[in-house]
Structure 1
Amino acid sequence: MPALDRLHRLHRFAWPLAVANLVANIGIVVTGGAVRLTGSGLGCPTWPRCTDESYVAHGELGVHGAIEFGNRMLTWALVVIAIACFVAVGRTGRTRATVLAAVVALGIPAQAVLGGITVLTDLNPWIVAGHFLVSMAIIGVCVALLDELRGPTRPASDRLRPLAWLVLAATWVVLYLGTVVTGSGPHSGDLESRRTGLDPQVMSHVHAAAVYALLALTLGLAVLAHGLGATVVRRAAGALLALLLVQGVLGFVQYFTDLPEVLVGLHMLGAALVSAAVTWTLLSTMSRRAEWAQPKSSGSSATATNSSDR
């Protein structure tokens, strides 16, 4: 049957859909940032409807309503991509990859609910922070899925892995403190939304101190990887270090220029890229001995063998 044949061939789309998953989840971070930076966080003042009478924005809500509603609609695009990715990856017969794809597919509607809670709580800064951090976690899972599908062959780097875990932990401390700084600063998403009440200047210095520690740890990992001849780890740590330096420069510039919206938006994009890079850095210390293999299709099922599923 033609329909069944097309289903068997879905595994061919696993890789491009996994890439689309990552790109889309990074993109929603940027568009979500645009909602907040334009003061459109309550453009649709309730959830799941846009208003008490309508699920869609209307003219009376103005440009803020259009921006917020547009961002909500993008979530549906993410859902479609994530479900298609899950189905395609499932056809490869690779258990771990399928689980990772399922986590992404389930994480996106969970994010939508959390986003709704942020609206219902009038953009409570602590809930907004959680909403952002869950996106960072989903991005990390997307990277793990890509590595599971077509990651490069590499040996285990047992001596480097503990330091890589420490870099990951430090990155998450930095990401969290970044949300605390944001929650105490001026870009609340709506003029009526409350802030955390913390001193934004003090929190900025605390955040910067954590960044310095992260830079030192990442540099140490890159240097140690170079000394041990761990090429994959060295490249991953080097890329992460470069991103952190760019993020640091952006952070300083936006701090001393009163947080212009464009720079804050770029800083959010940088945070998403850092989440992806630090995940890859940790994965690079773990062995991967099998290259991508096309699954075999027969009858009503497709199977594949991957040494990482041992």
Structure 2
Amino acid sequence: MGVALRRPSWALVHRLALASLATNVLLVLTGGAVRLTGSGLGCPTWPRCDSTSYVTRSALGAHGVIEFGNRMLTFVLAVVAVATLVTAVAVRPRRRDARLLALALFLGIPAQAVLGGITVLTRLNPWVVLLHLMCSLLLVAGSVLLVDRTGPQPGRRPRALLPGPLQQLVRGVLALVLATCYLGAVVTGSGPHAGDAEAHRTGLDPDRMAQLHADVVFLLVGVTLALVVVCAALAVPPAVRRAAGLLLGLELVQGAIGFVQYFTGLPALAVALHMLGAALLVAAATHLLLTTRERKPQLVPAAPRPVADALAAR
């Protein structure tokens, strides 16, 4: 007698999407730890850790352990991504958008691994490191999107809730968040935390880049504050108001951390918190954009009843 296999549910895909979000945020944090501890070349080659082993050895010391640990997190991400993709394909009813998102997150893992390898092989080229970070932040945004697409009403079509200009303002806020994170990474690439004592820097003036970064931060906070005020004045859904308020609060905390780290000589802990804040900002801005679209029920034709049921009804 065969054993019937239970088909996975969208609730399971939703939980896996949350796991993907958590692990991608964690990857940003551990990547920062690699740089801040000077462990960027703890494993001096790739894909091996050194010329003789794929795993770290005692000769590589603590730096090898830290760098190898960050590499191992990639395998955790891969397991979560594969499980998410397989489950999204197997679940019914089918959702093409969710499957494509799960596929994109899965493909992002080897892309990140290759970028990590190029980072090592180029001896921590700051522009490659920047690309590595931005790829992680985009995976965070994609994970938030998949969480939304697999939520309580995964089979419903989105409908815009805000007027066109306000919807564009929300999109602009997300674009400013990404620009702010990019410039923050450029500042880091010109500063002291290179990941290794011999790693090259961008050659850009750190003070000028920090000022440019701060200017964009002020613009972002101002635009987000305007969005919060407009949302309070208009009859927008409470979820949008809460998401805008949350984003503004995160921006203020992130800005405070940025000022503290700048005026205290860039202590490692403050920089690590700032990197974590960048991932949370991207997640919050993506969430804000998603709250501006309501899930509208789809019209699904009723399934035909068996002939016997139809006759009984007569």
Structure 1 length normalisation: TM-score?
0.89
Aligned equivalent of 1:117: 118
- Match for 1:186: what amino acid? P
Aligned equivalent of 2:58: 59
Aligned equivalent of 1:308: none
How far does residue 79 in structure 1 lie from its aligned partner after superposition? 0.3
Alpha carbons 2:173, 2:220 under 8 Å: kept: yes
How far does residue 89 in structure 1 lie from its aligned partner after superposition? 2.1
Percent identity of the aligned residues? 53
Q: Cα deviations across residues 238-276 of structure 1 (Å, max 9, x unaligned)?
A: 111000000000000000110111111010000000010
Q: Secondary structure at the match of 2:188?
A: helix
Q: Is 1:202 aligned to residue 208 of structure 2?
A: yes
Higher-Rg member (1/2): 2
Structure 1 unmatched ranges of 5 or more = 292-310
Q: Cα deviations across residues 247-306 of structure 1 (Å, max 9, x unaligned)?
A: 000000000110111111010000000010111111222232249xxxxxxxxxxxxxxx
Aligned equivalent of 2:268: 261
Aligned pairs for 1:261-280 within 5 A: 261-280=268-287
Aligned equivalent of 2:240: 233
Aligned equivalent of 1:74: 73
Alpha carbons 1:155, 1:289 under 8 Å: kept: no
Structure 1 pair 150–30 and aligned structure 2 pair: CA distance change class (3 A): same
Structure 2 unmatched ranges of 5 or more = 299-314
Aligned equivalent of 2:161: 156
How far does residue 32 in structure 1 lie from its aligned partner after superposition? 0.7
How far does residue 151 in structure 1 lie from its aligned partner after superposition? 6.3
Q: Is 1:216 aligned to residue 222 of structure 2?
A: yes
2:152, 2:252 → 1: CA distance?
Answer: 26
Structure 2 length normalisation: TM-score?
0.88
Aligned equivalent of 1:281: 288
Q: Cα deviations across residues 91-149 of structure 1 (Å, max 9, x unaligned)?
A: 14111111111111110111111011000000000010000001111100101111111
- Match for 2:294: what amino acid? S
2:159, 2:264 → 1: CA distance?
Answer: 44
Q: Secondary structure at the match of 1:287?
A: strand
Alpha carbons 1:222, 1:233 under 8 Å: kept: no
Q: Is 1:167 aligned to residue 166 of structure 2?
A: no
Alpha carbons 1:223, 1:234 under 8 Å: kept: no
